[in-house]
Amino acid sequence: MAYKTTAADLKADALYRAGEPTDGTSQYDGLCYEWMTDVLRAVISGGQFGPSPLEPVDWLWARAWPRGAIQLVQPVNADRSATATFVTGLQTVTTAPMVTNAPNLAGWRVQQDQTPARHVIGVAQHDPAGNISLLTLQEPWTGATLTTNAWLAYPDTYELPVDFVRGTSPLYISAYPNFGLPYVIDVLDTPDLERLAPQPWPMTTGRTFGGLPIVAARVDERKVRFSHYLYTPDTPLPVQIEFDYIRCPELLAEGSIPPIPPQHRNVLAFGLAYLILVDKDDSAHQALYGQFQGQLKAMTDEYRRTLRRMSTRWGIVQPSRVTGEYGPPRWTTGGLPAWNW
């Protein structure tokens, strides 16, 4: 038996443990990599596996590197160079001249000082010949009919990485604006975001509408919304936000190397062999599940010992910051924040 380095090594080991031939003639040969990936993702994301649920753990080996990044961009028409025509009850907004610095405005919001609603742009079309842009709103315009240059279009929602499972840190803007510590943006529940940082209307035109986000919230599996859009007119440049997160592993194949440390890769072979024995209705699956649990416990214990050795602030896990409460979050006696968004 080769040293268990690749998924092919683990597949052969699992087939052997399940009493299946390892020469490619097993009826389970074509399912092994798919089922092994299911085991790996269950170890990362938790959930029901076998007779008992698995608790999700923020494994060091499952964290993405380089860590995730989102680039906040400045709003369109901050210099009020384009005039827009809004008509009550209609979805089409015409701007002249054409908006050229951000051609894809789909999903952006429109801010107009006299209108409370922040309408979302569904489609943005540009006509270079007529030097105009046609913005189709998702819903009809609820403000008054007017033609004005006092409007902005800005994104408040951004895409997360495609392999994002859950965040393990707040959002950081490194050393911003000009001091050594990072600027931190906490991730809250969506109701908290709306309650603590509602759409700012009515207010005066200028920085009070934007600046830097204070908090953020997940709006679905792939998007995060910020409390304020980026608006720093003195330095109208993008700002990069970074964060740590658990990534979803790719589908395992013959030559792929699982991200689990070598000393713990047996957990994949045990898990795969267990699934094969369950499908065969073989009573030996109970013993295999016990081996799977033992290997998983050893990996979990090692992870926790590593955390204790690495920080004197390691302590009891505090309640998640994703709560419905006002004010600052509660801290544990060990002072360790537990990020999970």
Structure tokens at 241: 């936000």
- List all residues 6 or more positions away from 31 whose beta carbon is below 8 Å from its beta carbon: none
**Domain layout of the chain by residue ranges:** 7-63+248-303, 83-154
pLDDT of 334 strictly over 80: no
- Identity of the amino acid at 203: M
pLDDT at 209: 55
Residue pair 205/151 in contact (Cβ under 8 Å)? The answer is: no
Backbone Cα Rg of the chain: 26
List, for residues 76-123, the tens digit of each pLDDT value. 998 899 999 999 999 999 999 998 776 689 999 999 988 889 999 999
Band the pLDDT of 204: cuts 50, 70, 90. Answer: very low
Band the pLDDT of 190: cuts 50, 70, 90. Answer: confident
pLDDT of 233 strictly over 50: yes
At how many degrees (to 10) do helices 32-45 and 7-17 cross? 100
What mean pLDDT is predicted for residues 151-157?
Answer: 93
Band the pLDDT of 202: cuts 50, 70, 90. Answer: low
pLDDT of 277 strictly over 90: yes
- Check residue 47 and give left, alpha or beta (phi > 0: left; psi -120 to 50: alpha): left
| Beta strands at 92-96 and 132-137: parallel, antiparallel or unpaired | antiparallel
Structure tokens at 10: 């683990």
pLDDT of 340 strictly over 80: no
Q: Give the CATH number of domain 83-154.
A: 2.40.30
Query: What is the number of alpha carbons within 13 Å of residue 106 lying toward its C-beta?
Result: 6
pLDDT of 232 strictly over 70: yes
pLDDT at 248: 94
pLDDT of 208 strictly over 60: no
pLDDT of 312 strictly over 70: no
* CA–CA separation, 115 and 84 (whole Å): 14
Structure tokens at 224: 């995060």
pLDDT at 76: 92
pLDDT at 231: 87
Under DSSP, is residue 329 helix (H, G, I), strand (E, B) or coil?
A: coil
What sign has the CA pseudo-torsion 332, 336, 340, 341? positive
Under DSSP, is residue 148 helix (H, G, I), strand (E, B) or coil?
A: strand
Q: How far is CA 205 from the centre of its chain?
A: 32
Under DSSP, is residue 135 helix (H, G, I), strand (E, B) or coil?
A: strand
pLDDT at 194: 84
Question: Which residues on adjacent β-strands are paired with residue 184?
Answer: 172
The pair phi, psi for residue 53, each rounded to 5°, is -80, 150
* CA–CA separation, 294 and 270 (whole Å): 10
Other C-beta atoms closer than 10 Å to the C-beta of 239 total 19
DSSP 273-304: HHHHHHHTT-TTHHHHHHHHHHHHHHHHHHHH
What mean pLDDT is predicted for residues 199-206?
Answer: 52
What mean pLDDT is predicted for residues 192-217?
Answer: 69
- Check residue 281 and give left, alpha or beta (phi > 0: left; psi -120 to 50: alpha): left
Residue (of 166, 156, 153) closest to 222 by Cα position:
166
What mean pLDDT is predicted for residues 61-70?
Answer: 95
Residue pair 227/197 in contact (Cβ under 8 Å)? The answer is: yes
- What percent of the chain has pLDDT above 70? 84
Band the pLDDT of 325: cuts 50, 70, 90. Answer: very low
Give the mean pLDDT of the chain: 86
What mean pLDDT is predicted for residues 17-40?
Answer: 96
What mean pLDDT is predicted for residues 145-158?
Answer: 94
Question: Which residues on adjacent β-strands are paired with residue 115?
Answer: 112
pLDDT of 324 strictly over 50: no
| Beta strands at 229-230 and 210-211: parallel, antiparallel or unpaired | parallel
